[in-house]
Chain A
């Protein structure tokens, strides 16, 4: 089962290495890991997507919490959350195909962010399933490259207490 784990960590050198090292040493699999600053310059938030049964994920949560510069760990499983990915995708788009592609982009509420001679760069954000669906929809035109952020998440109902 997929778990979204959110960890508030001290914004210090070595913290990412510490966390990545722990995952490797304990043979936990990371699906995605996103780090970014928070409103407090001393803290960063990591959103980690982990796949595993409840016992494995429970260990992940405890082992994360044990790392000294990790301030707080939450597992969002079973909670209503807003989870988002951001993707940039470069699609082969000869002029005659562009209207078709643009209407596809509109359906996914994406944006064209760069126009080349033969390609369009498109920005799409949303839950992972939407991102996957957009990739599938673009495949017939030819995908040049994809860059994704991985998932970030926040619980609904303003249950934010840190």
Chain B
């Protein structure tokens, strides 16, 4: 195992000092976290550490911020919380990061070692609670293991299939002293990562691509995590392959290119879903055949041979039987694969795709008098020239953002894909803005998603972050309402709440607030929002019962989409 440089000359240090020094040695310059009883020694050492420290208004918000910071910057996001309630409040954030394979390190305080198990004040079994929602976690009970454990946490979080790692540190470890003697060696006999793909498997995949008449590249978040967008584009161009992306994969392939089939799956494009169902070769890269992507498994891509490139062997043949698995890092494998593929014109296939694209683009009723949520997103996409970093809540707002904002580069679309965490959008925008200070960061949110974490607006104001929050306010939990309309006879059970005046809330918290009720005001409002230097919240009162189309209902095949007739009628 590689050794890490020592932070400083051998001296006697407290555990808290070792934590801070080790974080700095790992290159951490930005952290998120909330203080509390048992983390006081650590926060005392952070008082004059050269670290930009952001305090959220709630630990969950801080966890999402660290997560989005990691998604945007490619670095490891770091979150600190106190024992008991602090640690418990991280659970949703850790689960969000875990499902989307985001590299994070969480450090939690714990009660004194001799009190553990005694139901002490603010005690919770943090490692027990977070074990299923982290890639790895552990408690440090011996100060001589502290620095090594933190280095190991960063290594585990950021390599292989990334994910959150939690380290629980009892307060007596933080205050006790330890003499550091020599460099720290990692000791992880059970952790090995295979990065280069098996040469014969790659050749087999290349031959399948060269032989294929109707191939589709199906790419997921793994391509972004592995920084493999360039290699993906090279392969797609060299072999002439159409590319469809999962929600997590959006941005990995430029959606303004003709080869882009945009998103596939439940609310994916009709052309992507048809292409997957008709293809003779499906090349999955860094994607995991999630149920929102595959629809009914037995009829998924029925004519296709399947190649699956993934760094996680457990993802292969988990949901869908794979013919040619290649385990390793997407970047290396795509590069090696591109060497062995040949250009094929595939005229018929691309013509068929172009037909579907012409017939069933993402559409909405642009003649409508009310504000259509899709129109707001399209306007934002145009005015930001496809360049903004977009975060989302979860539900209709998220699906429309995925459908109507056309992404051109990786790390541009920040959304809770796997866990589907409402309330992710605002704290994610804060973390994204901190991770990419020059970017225009826009949270395209729903009213009820925003309600869940809107307290973090105060954090954005405090740090003078020019984030924009677009509330597509329909007064409903829109996606729930859509399902109730379609499957529960329009019985809108508990799917609406009374909302506050968001512009007034924003103003009270020190942000800029606007309300837009007329369609004609949309372009101006977007322009004004983009010009703001302060956090800005725009409450767009959109059509209340707009639906997301197309839709593959649960249990249906990808080509059994509802709403195509509605889309066609809007042409």
A interface residue numbers (CB < 8 A to B) = 9-10, 12-14, 17-18, 21-22, 25, 42, 55, 58-59, 62-63, 65-72
Contact = CB atoms under 8 A, between A and B. Distances in A.
Contact of B318 (A13, A59, A70): A59
A63 to B, nearest CB: 5
Given A59-B314, A65-B313, A66-B314, A10 B190 contact: yes
30 contacts: A9-B190, A10-B189, A10-B190, A13-B139, A14-B127, A14-B131, A14-B138, A14-B139, A17-B128, A17-B131, A18-B131, A21-B131, A21-B132, A25-B132, A55-B317, A59-B314, A59-B318, A62-B313, A66-B312, A66-B313, A66-B314, A68-B135, A68-B136, A68-B156, A68-B188, A68-B190, A69-B190, A70-B190, A71-B189, A72-B190
B191 interface: yes
A71 B190 contact: yes
A17 B139 CA distance: 13
Which of B128, B131, B135 counts the most A-chain CB atoms under 10 A from its CB?
B131
- The 6 A-B residue pairs whose C-beta atoms are closest, nearest first, are A62-B314, A71-B190, A68-B136, A70-B190, A71-B189, A69-B190
Nearest to B312: A66
Contacts of B313: 62, 65-66
Nearest to A60: B314
Contacts, number: 41
A65 B313 CA distance: 9
A55 B320 CA distance: 11
Interface residues of B, number: 18
Given A68-B156, A68-B190, A69-B190, A58 B131 contact: no
Contacts of B190: 9-10, 67-72
A22 B189 CA distance: 20
Nearest to B141: A13
Which of B139, B189, B313 counts the most A-chain CB atoms under 10 A from its CB?
B189
Nearest to B313: A62
Nearest to A15: B190
Contacts of A9: 190
Nearest to B137: A14
Contacts of B189: 10, 42, 71
B189 to A, nearest CB: 5
Nearest to B152: A68
A12 B189 CA distance: 12
B168 to A, nearest CB: 10
Nearest to B128: A17
